[in-house]
C-alpha cells in the first residue's frame, strides 16, 4: 500500500511541476508580433545572364545544410532533410539542457521567388505543443538572418530567397519547389 501512495504522490508532483513550467514559459513570452513580410513580388534585377538550375531533394539537402552551417555559424543546432516535406531537426536549450525537436513543413515557391514553409507537424521531445507558441519561442531565442521571416501566428516561415546575398551580387529566385515530385528549380541572375 505504501508504494501506491508514493507513486501517486510522485506522479502528482510531476504534473504540478510540468504545469508550473508551462505557465512560467507562457508568462515570459513577448506580446509583440513581427509585421507580415511584404507580399509584393520581388523583381529580378536586369541581368546579362539568367541561369536555370534544376536539382534533386538529395543534392539540395546537402547544399542547404552546408549553407545553414556557414550562415548561422553554429548558433542553432539543427539540420534540414528534404523528403516529401521539409524537416528541421535539432535541439533547443531549455533550462540549461537540450530538448530535441522535429518540425515538418510543406514547402512551395511563392510568385515573388521566395519560399513559403507552412508548418505541418511539431514534436518537442515526445510532446506535441501549440505550433504558434513554439515558433514564437524559436523566433525570440535566436537571431535569424534577415532573409528568414518567422510568422508564428500563421504557422509559417518565409525564406526570402531573393534577399539572400549569395556571392558577387548574384540574385536567386525559386521557380519550382515540389518535393513530392522532386521538381526543384531556381533561377540565378547575374547583374550588369
Tens digits of residue pLDDT in 45-55: 555 688 888 98
Q: What's the mean pLDDT in 112-137?
A: 80
Domain boundaries, the chain: 45-191
Neighbours of 89 (CB within 10 A): 15
What would you measure as the largest C-alpha separation in the chain, in angstroms? 83
Q: Can you point out the beta strands (E) in the chain?
A: 47-55, 77-82, 86-94, 97-109, 115-124, 148-151, 156-159, 171-178, 183-191
State the residue for C-alpha cell 558577387.
168
Q: Which helix (H) or strand (E) holds 135?
A: helix 131-141
- Does 149 score more than 70 pLDDT? yes
- Does 59 score more than 80 pLDDT? yes
Name which residue leads in pLDDT, 132 or 187: 187
pTM summary value: 0.69
- Does 83 score more than 80 pLDDT? yes
Q: What is the pLDDT of residue 8?
A: 72
Name which residue leads in pLDDT, 125 or 186: 186
d(CA 99, CA 15): 18
Neighbouring residues of 107: CB distance < 8 A, sequence distance ≥ 6: 85, 86, 115, 116, 117, 118, 177, 179
d(CA 5, CA 92): 35
Q: What percent of the chain has pLDDT over 70?
A: 74
Q: How far is CA 141 from the centre of its chain?
A: 13
- Does 106 score more than 60 pLDDT? yes
Amino acid at each position: 500500500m505504501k508504494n501506491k501512495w508514493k507513486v501517486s504522490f510522485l506522479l502528482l508532483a510531476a504534473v504540478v511541476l510540468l504545469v508550473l513550467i508551462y505557465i512560467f514559459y507562457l508568462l515570459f513570452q513577448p506580446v509583440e508580433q513581427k509585421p507580415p513580410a511584404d507580399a509584393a513580388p520581388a523583381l529580378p534585377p536586369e541581368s546579362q545572364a539568367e541561369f536555370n538550375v534544376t536539382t534533386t531533394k538529395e543534392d539540395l539537402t546537402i547544399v542547404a545544410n552546408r549553407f545553414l552551417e556557414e550562415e548561422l555559424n553554429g548558433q542553432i543546432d539543427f539540420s534540414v532533410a528534404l523528403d516529401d516535406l521539409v524537416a528541421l531537426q535539432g535541439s533547443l536549450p531549455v533550462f540549461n539542457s537540450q530538448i530535441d525537436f522535429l518540425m515538418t513543413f510543406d514547402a512551395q515557391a511563392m510568385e515573388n521567388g521566395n519560399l513559403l514553409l507552412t508548418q505541418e507537424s511539431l514534436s518537442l521531445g515526445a510532446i506535441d505543443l501549440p505550433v504558434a507558441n513554439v515558433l514564437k519561442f524559436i523566433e525570440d531565442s535566436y537571431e535569424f538572418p534577415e532573409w528568414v521571416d518567422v510568422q508564428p501566428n500563421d504557422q509559417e516561415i518565409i525564406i526570402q530567397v531573393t534577399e539572400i546575398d549569395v556571392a558577387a551580387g548574384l540574385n536567386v529566385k525559386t521557380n519550382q519547389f515540389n518535393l513530392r515530385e522532386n521538381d526543384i528549380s531556381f533561377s540565378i541572375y547575374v547583374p550588369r
